[in-house]
Amino acid sequence: MAAAERPIPLRRALSGLLLTLVVFSFACEACKKVTFNIPSKLEADNIVGRVNLKECLRSADLIRSGDPDFRVLDDGSVYTTSTVVLSDEKRSFTIWLSDSRTQAQKEIKVLLEHQKKVLRKRYAKEAVLRRSKRRWAPIPCSMQENSLGPFPLFLQQVQSDAAQNYSIFYSISGHGVDQEPLNLFFIERDTGNLYCTRPVDREEYEVFDLIAYASTADGYSADMPLPLPIRVEDENDNHPIFTEAIYNFEVPESSRLGTTVGVVCATDKDEPDTMHTRLKYSILEQTPKSPGIFSVHPTTGVITTVAHYLDRETVDKYSLIMKVQDMDGQLFGLMSTSTCIITVKDSNDNAPTFKQNTYEASVEENAYNVEILRIPIEDKDLINTANWRANFTILKGNENGYFKISTDKETNEGVLYVVKPLNYEENHQVTLEIGVSNEAPFTRDFALRTTMNRALVTVHVRDQDEGPECSPAAQYVRIQEHSVVGSKVNGYKAYDPETRSASGIRYKKLHDPKGWITIDEISGSITTSKILDREAMTPRNDLYNITVLAIDQDGRSCTGTLAVNIEDMNDNPPEILQSYVTICKPKMRYTDISAVDPDEPIHGPPFYFSLADTSPEMNRMWTLTKVNDTAARLSYQKNAEFQEYSVPITVKDREGQSATKTVRVNLCDCTHPSQCLPTRRSAGVILGKWAILAILLGIALLFSVLLTLVCGVFGAKKRKGFPEDLAQQNLIISNTEAPGDDKVCSANGFMTQTVNNSGQGFCGTMGSGMKNGGQETIEMVKGGHQTLESCRGTGHHHTLDSCRGGHVETDNCRHTYSEWHNFTQPRLGEDSIRGHTG
C-alpha cells in the first residue's frame, strides 16, 4: 500500500533477531553492560530492547533511566520518550536499580550502536540490498453502500516495498474475509489487488477492519501486518420513521398563545450528522381545517398553539397529519407521515345560569324536612365534571336557618328544603336570594369578566289550624321547702298560636316523680299535696320536673315541662361521718372528724365542732381543733391508756342547727389501724334481747324433746307398744348417709314424718338429727325472716305457742345446728359489749 515514506529499511526486520542474540549473550553480565543495535532514527514510544533486570537485582523496586530520552518499564523493556537520532555511531546511558528495603543499588550500562548489515537476496538474485523508503502503510479506502457492481468490485491495490527485492505474496484477514460476513473481500495473492464480492448495507456494517500481510514464499514476513480499514459510504436509502404511528395529546381549552401541546419525534437509520439524517417536521393537514390552530417546530417537532380559538364546546378534538422529511426537507428527500390526535380538555369557562330569574314555592306552617322546590340550571361545560356540577348557596333571607339547599347529583338541580317549622302567624312569606357556582373555580380570564348568577325564590307559608303551643317548652316556678300542704302557685301556661290566648285549654299532669303536686285542669296552677323535701329529690339539689299535657277543645295537645325550684330551708343539721376510728399510739397524735350537711351551702358550712361532754376528765383527755370548714382534729393526751373510748361530739352549721354523735375511738398500740380490732371487755356482761331470745329458744327446744317423748308413750298404748327407751329412739342421731324416714308422734296424736315431708302440729316439728358429711344437724324453726323470733306459715305471724295446729311446710322451717350457732354467738357477744359499755 503506497503512502507515507518511513526510514525503516528491510534490515529492521532482522534487527530484532540480532538484538535478541545480543541480550542473551550478555545475560550473565547484565549488571555490567548491555548493547542494542538500533536504526539511526527512532520515533517516540518505539521499543529499543529489553534488559533482564532480575539477574542484576531481583529485589529492585525502583528503576530509573539516566537518559531522559529513554524510559524503562518494570519488565525491563526500554522505550524512547521522544524521537532519537544517532548522529554518531554509538550512544550510551545508565539504568539504576535500587532496593529501598535493603538499600542495595546496582547499575546497568546500555550501549546503543548503529550497524549496517548486508543481506543477500534469496533465490537467484545476488545484488546487495540498499536501504530505501517504504510504501507499506494503510491507505484510506472506502466503498459505496448498495453498490451495483460489477462484482467482484475492485477497491485498491496493496503493495510492499519488499516486492522490489523479493517475491512477495499477499493475504488478508478480518470481518468480511474469515469472519462474518464471510468471503465479502478477497485479495489477489500475487498482485495485492483487493476486491469486494457483493453489495454492502452500511446500516449493518459501517467499516471493515482488515489486516493485510506480505510474506515470502518460505513464509518469512517481509513487513509488519498492515491494518486496512474499509469504510462503507452511506447512501440515503432509509426513510425517516416516526416513533409512534398515532400520537395522542391533550390541551386545555383555556390555553394561551404558544402553549406546548406535545412533541413528535422521528428516527433515520442513515449515517448521523449528514444530510441523510437531517430531518424537518411539518403539518400536512388539520381536521377540522379552519381555523389553523397549531404549528410544529421544523427541527424539534414541538407542537404549539398559534391561535386563541380553542373552545371545547365548539370543537373538542383535532386531527393532524404530521410529515417528516430528510435531506433537510428538500424535495428529493425521503419522507413519512404520522397522525396526531389532539383532545381539547374542558376548562370552567362557562358559568352556570338559572333558567328563570324568579321562582315561587309554598309550604304549610310547622312542616319541616320537606322538599319545596327544584331549581334547574344550564351549564355548557363537560357534563359530570367539576366544571359542570353546580353549588347552590342561599345568599339572603335565611338568617334564621329555616331553609337549606343542596344539589341533585343526577340532574344538577338545586333542591330547596324547609328544615325548621315556619310559623304563619310570624311570617306569611319568605324571600330568598339563591346563587349558583361550580365545584371547580373559573379560569382566570373568565373569572375577571363574570359574576355569580342569582335568582329570587318567594316561599309562601300556608296557614294551618294548629293545636295549643307549649312555649316555652320549660317553664319555671319557685316553692319553699316544707310549705304547708295545699300551697298554691302559678303553674304551666299554653296558648293558641292563632289567637294568642290560653282560654279553652285544659291541663293534665303526665308525670310527677314524688306525687307532691296537683295541677288545676282549667288554670294550670299547681297545689302542693305533700310536704316538699328538697333533700329527698333525685337527683338531689336539682329542679323538680313535672311533665304537663295541654289540650285544646278539639283534642289537640302539646307537652311541656314545669320545673319547680324548691327553695331550701335549714331543716337538716350537719352529720358526722365517722362512727368508729382507730388511733395508733404513739405514731398517730390525732384523727380528723368530718361532717356533711344535705342542705344548700347557704345553710351549711362552716361547721363548728365541740365536745358534748364538758366534764374536766373529758376535756383533760381530748381536744378538738378546727381543720377547715367541714372538719376538726380530735387529739388525745400523751398519758392516755390503750383502750376504747366513747367521745360525744357536737357539730353545728352556720345557722346553729346542731347534732351530737358519740364516736368510738380505739386508742391502740399499733403502727397501722388495720392491726387493731374492736376491743371487748369481759366485766359487766349484760344480756341483750338476742341473748335472752337464744336462751328461750333453747328452753323451747328442750320442751319439744320432752313433748316428743310423751307423744311416744301415748302412741304405744293405742298401738302394739314401744320399747321403754322410746325417748331415746325418738331423737335419733344417725351417722349413716341414708338413715331412712324417722317418724314421731306429735302432741295432737298424729304421726309426723320429719324428713322431706310436711306435717301438722308444731311449726317444724322436731325430727331426727342427720349427719351429712360429718356435720350433725338438728331441724329447727326457720321463718320467713330467717330468725328464730318468728315463724311465718301461710302469711300469718305465729309464736312457738300460737303455731300449734297450723299447717307449715317443714322445708321452710328448718335450721341446721351450725346456722343456729352462727346466729346466737355474735348476738351474745354484741349484748355482752353493750352491757359492758352501758
pLDDT tens for each residue of 435-444: 999 988 887 7
End-to-end CA distance of the chain: 149
How does residue 714 score in pLDDT terms, banded at 50, 70 and 90? low
Percentage of the residues of the chain whose pLDDT score is greater than 90: 29
Check pLDDT > 50 for residue 372. Answer: yes
Which pLDDT belongs to residue 464? 78
Domain extent listing, the chain: 31-114, 141-233, 241-345, 353-461, 474-567, 575-675
| Averaged pLDDT, 633-641 | 85
CB 464 within 8 A of CB 424: yes
How does residue 788 score in pLDDT terms, banded at 50, 70 and 90? very low
Cβ neighbour number for residue 833 with a 10 Å cutoff? 17
CB 334 within 8 A of CB 238: yes
CATH for 141-233 is 2.60.40.60
Topology of the domain comprising 31-114 = Immunoglobulin-like (2.60.40)
* Rounded CA separation 768/740 (Å): 10
Check pLDDT > 80 for residue 49. Answer: no
- The conformational region for residue 411 under phi > 0 = left, psi -120 to 50 = alpha, else beta, is alpha
Give the CA distances from residue 427 to residues 103, 366, 464, in Å, rounded to whole numbers and listed in that order: 119, 12, 13
* Rounded CA separation 512/625 (Å): 46
Task: Read off the C-alpha cell for 490.
Answer: 302559678
Give the CA distances from residue 393 to residues 243, 416, 417, in Å, rounded to whole numbers and listed in that order: 51, 10, 12
Topology of the domain comprising 575-675 = Immunoglobulin-like (2.60.40)
Closest CA to 154 of 217, 78, 230: 230
Q: What is the pLDDT of residues 580-635, one digit of tens each?
A: 999 898 888 889 999 998 877 878 889 889 988 888 888 888 889 888 988 999 88
CB 732 within 8 A of CB 768: yes
Q: What is the pLDDT of residues 807-830, one digit of tens each?
A: 333 343 344 444 545 555 554 544
Task: Read off the C-alpha cell for 165.
Answer: 527485492
Pick the CATH number of 474-567 from 1.10.10.10, 3.20.20.70, 3.20.20.120, 2.60.40.60: 2.60.40.60
User: What is the DSSP code string of 279-317?
Assistant: -EEEEEEEES-SS--EEE-TTT-EEEE--S---TTT--E
* Rounded CA separation 378/358 (Å): 15
Topology of the domain comprising 241-345 = Immunoglobulin-like (2.60.40)
Which pLDDT belongs to residue 819? 52
Give residue for cell 543499588: 105
Q: Three-state SS for 387? A: coil
Residue 533 CB contacts under 8 Å (≥ 6 apart), including other chains: 481, 482, 571
H or E element in which residue 775 lies: strand 775-778
| Averaged pLDDT, 660-681 | 79
b or e along 280-308 (b: 16 or more beta carbons within 10 Å of the residue's beta carbon)? bbebeebeeeeeebbbbeeeebebbbeee
Check pLDDT > 50 for residue 2. Answer: no
CATH for 353-461 is 2.60.40.60
* Rounded CA separation 221/213 (Å): 8
| Averaged pLDDT, 426-430 | 88
Q: Which of 184-198, 558-572, 596-610 has the highest mean pLDDT?
A: 184-198
Q: Three-state SS for 275? A: helix
Q: Which residues pair with 662 in a beta bridge?
A: 648
Q: Within 9-135, where are the H helices?
A: 11-25, 53-56
H or E element in which residue 716 lies: helix 689-718
Check pLDDT > 70 for residue 833. Answer: no
Q: What is the pLDDT of residues 477-513, one digit of tens each?
A: 888 777 778 788 888 888 787 777 788 888 998 888 8
Closest CA to 803 of 824, 783, 829, 774: 783
Q: What integer best gives the mean pLDDT of the chain? A: 76
* Rounded CA separation 767/780 (Å): 9
| Averaged pLDDT, 411-436 | 91
Closest CA to 423 of 463, 459, 396, 458: 463
Q: What is the pLDDT of residues 690-707, one digit of tens each?
A: 778 888 888 988 888 888
How does residue 805 score in pLDDT terms, banded at 50, 70 and 90? very low
The verdict on whether omega for the bond into residue 648 sits within 30 degrees of 0, i.e. cis, is no
Of 141 and 799, more confident = 141
Residue 277 CB contacts under 8 Å (≥ 6 apart), including other chains: 240, 268, 270, 271, 326
* Rounded CA separation 468/148 (Å): 114
| Averaged pLDDT, 85-100 | 82
Cβ neighbour number for residue 239 with a 10 Å cutoff? 16
CA angle 787, 791, 793 (to 5 degrees): 145
31-114 shares its CATH topology with 575-675: yes
